[in-house]
Copies of this chain bind each other. A is one copy, B any other.
């Protein structure tokens, strides 16, 4: 594996987990830039890099300039980069490759995982989605990816956006349902842990069964009596809405409506 010199722009969850994984894989994180100078300093310390206070100080000779910042910040930031990097990539699911149009060797390096600062993650199991403007850049990003993960996918911008939306349903929205469930239990003095086996089993089950086949419960069997009792029981209007819309959607998928 070629060891690369990498400069990193960003200091959030994705930037932090990527920097740690790249550093552990033997690459040299040379510089870290972030709008928040303190965060840049913290991250730079963790990966033995140098925090730089402005984009003008970026070293144009690194092998890769990696941009791991919020979606909307990418385009304006790119306008501030006044040189042609050897390779430049962003890490955002929903931002097309074309945002890097002014660069010759550009690509996307999107890790399809939810990162939390407090929790370590095994990068070998993080799917990495790669796209590039040319073969040379694609090879560079693929080589980098292969050193980090066992799950690499070549996806175009449209597919990557779809992945990101699917991930929001499967991760953010799912976690929100856990949150709702936790709050319902807490209000009746029941420990949230009582649901852990069910939650783990629900996630485990779809390794073997497609979710269409794994579905159970009152909506799947169109048990109106139970659903109406639950709707009566739920007092919060937001919960009622989620209960009824998701139940309708389960019914619709079950019966191809």
Contact = CB atoms under 8 A, between A and B. Distances in A.
Interface of A: 13, 70-72, 94, 112-116, 118-119, 121, 125-127, 129, 151, 153, 155, 158-159, 161-163, 165-185, 187-190, 192, 194-221, 223, 225-226, 229-230, 233-234, 238-239, 241-243, 245-246, 248-250, 252-253
A184 B205 contact: no
Q: How many copies does the complex hold?
A: 2
Contacts of A243: 168-169
A159 B188 contact: yes
Contact of A179 (B182, B194, B253): B253
A203 B170 CA distance: 10
Contacts of A127: 194, 197-198
B214 A116 contact: yes
30 contacts: A94-B229, A114-B201, A114-B217, A116-B213, A118-B213, A119-B208, A126-B197, A127-B194, A127-B197, A127-B198, A153-B194, A159-B190, A162-B187, A162-B188, A165-B230, A169-B181, A169-B242, A171-B217, A172-B215, A172-B218, A175-B211, A176-B219, A176-B246, A177-B177, A178-B206, A199-B203, A199-B206, A202-B203, A238-B249, A242-B246
Given A162-B187, A166-B181, A200-B203, 19 more contacts: A70-B221, A114-B201, A116-B214, A129-B194, A151-B197, A158-B188, A162-B188, A165-B184, A170-B178, A171-B199, A171-B216, A171-B217, A172-B220, A175-B202, A175-B215, A178-B206, A179-B215, A238-B245, A241-B245
Contacts of A170: 177-178, 181, 195, 198-199, 202
A75 to B, nearest CB: 11
